[in-house]
Structure 1
Amino acid sequence: MIITADRLRELFDSDLPDPQLAVVEGQARVVPGTADEDQGLVVASRSELLERHGGSAPSGQALEELAVALETTVDTLGA
């Protein structure tokens, strides 16, 4: 599994400017929104995910479900 709840926690807790979750060389990484286009496949930004979840970071089961949903999206895209 590439996208995990731990990686999403890292995204929500990041001090990077406009952090984004990207798949780079088969691994999920948190990258700054200002990164080069070579940062890989951007899955979602923290701001997008916060907006989807009413302005606060999901936790517990909701975070696990979000990780599964994003993993499914990545699998569908073949990243």
Structure 2
Amino acid sequence: RAAHHGRSTEADIRDIIEAAVRPSERVKLGSLLAAIGRDAELSNSDVEALQQNRDKAPAEPMTFERSCWTPT
């Protein structure tokens, strides 16, 4: 397959993995949220109220260190 596409085996494997985890028909989050807003018939003032009340603090990155959890 890689030779047929004119690339290295590694590049072909990366392409296969990317296609598996990012299918072209996936629903994107922004599009989904916009559709939910339209279905809920939110007005501009509703959206502004949500914007004013949302948490604007930056998200904390997740950690996966063993000290964060206790195995059972």
Interval of TM-score (by shorter of Structure 1 and Structure 2) = under 0.3
Bigger Rg over Cα: 2
- Ranked by relative contact order (alpha carbons within 8 Å, sequence separation 6 or more), the top structure is 1
Higher normalized helix content (fraction of residues): 2
Higher strand share: 1
TM-score (norm: length of structure 2): 0.27
